[in-house]
Structure 1
């Protein structure tokens, strides 16, 4: 989806968070103000919504492939809009391929913005598992305790191990992320079957892709990025993710780096606080 007030505005590419992710409706409705300042390009990640047909063959659904997808779209946009550089924004799991794309081809990008940035997913998931188990015990949720005990700590080989943590994240941390799939499944840009694939694409893509990120640890794998870097976190983000991002950010070398916390926001902080996020993007644009 490509939207903007004028074709000569700076180009912003947004990479959604979840495997098979689609954020067409959320980007158009909640961050419409960006379209007055940028040509806003929102891609569906492989395996989701309009890209569901690209799910197979799943053996090629790798971190390297996700990185290449970001670079392919970037190259297309640089050619179409005759830009040397674009601004790259990614969310959550989409930050993995986006970060590695910036590492591989820094000359393509004016700046990189990681929202809910992933740094060490296995370490973060293990702490979230412990948090969820402690919460379930404290609140007398025997069924959740039993499910978590049965699957044991992550990482897991399929989505079903992660399911108890995913479904209970809002309860444990007091966030409100659970309606994201439903919201984007109602995007009018999508046909009936594509709307179904917002949910089925998430399930199938998560199952195929997420186990392959278990070895990601940007502290050692990405010691430097050759562009200005901005990390955005909500103040109600899962604490382990913020901790692991902080550990990476402390050693990361970049021409400029900044960690921004949005108040009253969770994992999808740019959608929770759109005005604050738009103001930040204006500042980043002016500095680039």
Structure 2
């Protein structure tokens, strides 16, 4: 092969690789949000693609630490943003003291209003930083509280809102879940669960530990009646697979759940109590899509559908996913992908 031809081929190959690197984006950093530093990751094969901000559940159940098994293939079509919310993951680790005490829990409350403001501030940053007019938000479970609140308050920032396992009324939903698992336990003659439920009594509770005990029973019955996600989805990325990150995720999850459930003995108010979109959350100015697991006990399909029927939006769709419960599985991810595609084609 002639030297000139070799040089031409090299330049074509090198320029192609350089162009690909220039188009892609991969950022991991702390960003000042709401007066503290919060952990945000941004990745995609082409930074000119539409941006999706994932709002994780929990609260406290961050997603940035997982490998690409869940949403990795979306990077071809979108720029994906994961955010460790206030009180979760690396954001918790960055701002909490080395030794977390009860005093820290009490003196640093979480509120829906504060975290909604954080989400809006992050969205404003993403629009400016990535040169977009708008972004799309996907909120799961607790993240659906933030997502709906953000979409209702600042529709100018968002192309669409996609709510998965949409929380409608925190207290009423939890009470309904208690009634559902009580019926299921009786039908199954599950004496262990029956005894625990009788001891707990129906919510609301003023002790976060009781909320946690009920949650474990709810998850048990959801697992029995749904198709789970592959175990490989929850593989932790190597850079997060260390003692500090693991401790920050664990402690942040405890801290966040304590504030969500409330704990009277510490004077910690429940965030759940104030959540009621049935009262004041109907008028959306952007498209709304609800992805609902048919076997979801915690945010039951009947409650979500009743709310959906009252929602006013330029476009709306309710997607019932057979075999899905409150969490993720492949059918849920597929439904989310279709919803994003539909929203962006409008």
Residue 176 to residue 22, structure 1, CA distance change in 2 (3 Å):
farther
- Pairwise mapping of residues 70-149 of structure 1 onto structure 2 (< 5 A)? 70-149=119-198
SS at match of 1:250: helix
Q: Which residue of 2 aligns with 1:187?
A: 237
The SS at the match of 2:300 is helix
Report how far residue 47 of structure 1 moved: 1.4
What's the TM-score, normalizing by structure 2?
A: 0.75
Unaligned residue ranges in structure 1 (runs of 5+)? none
Equivalent in 192, 199, 205 of residue 150 of structure 1 = 199
Deviation at 1:176, TM superposition (A): 5.9
- Aligned counterparts of 1:133 and 1:221: Cα–Cα separation in 2: 30
Judging changes above 3 Å, is the alpha-carbon distance between structure 1 residues 33 and 284 closer, same or farther for their aligned structure 2 residues?
A: farther
Contact 1:185-1:195 at 8 Å conserved across structures = no
Partner of 1:223: 282
CA distance in structure 2 between the partners assigned to 1:177 and 1:123 by the alignment: 26
Residue 30 of structure 1 aligns to a residue whose secondary structure is coil
Q: Which moved more, 1:148-157 or 1:14-23?
A: 148-157
Tell me, yes or no, if the aligned pair for 2:174 and 2:298 is still in contact at 8 Å: no
Q: Equivalent residue of 2:286, what SS?
A: coil
How many residues were matched structurally? Answer: 286
Partner of 1:29: 69
After TM superposition, the structure 1 stretch with the greater mean CA deviation from structure 2, 110-119 or 241-250, is 241-250
Q: In 2, Cα distance between the equivalents of 1:186 and 1:283?
A: 31
CA contact (8 A) 2:88 2:248 kept: yes
Q: Show the counterpart of 2:256.
A: 205
1:2 and 1:230 mapped to 2: Cα distance?
A: 23
| CA positional deviation for 1:243 | 1.5
In the alignment, structure 1 residue 280 sits paired with structure 2 residue 330: no
**Counterpart position of 2:36:** none
Structure 2, unpaired ranges of 5+: 1-40, 97-103, 262-269
The structure, 1 or 2, with the larger RCO (C-alpha pairs under 8 Å, 6+ apart) is: 1
The residue aligned with 1:8 is 48
CA–CA distance in 2 between the matches of 1:113 and 1:27? 22
SS at match of 1:28: coil
Q: CA deviation at 1:163?
A: 2.1
Q: CA RMSD in A?
A: 2.5
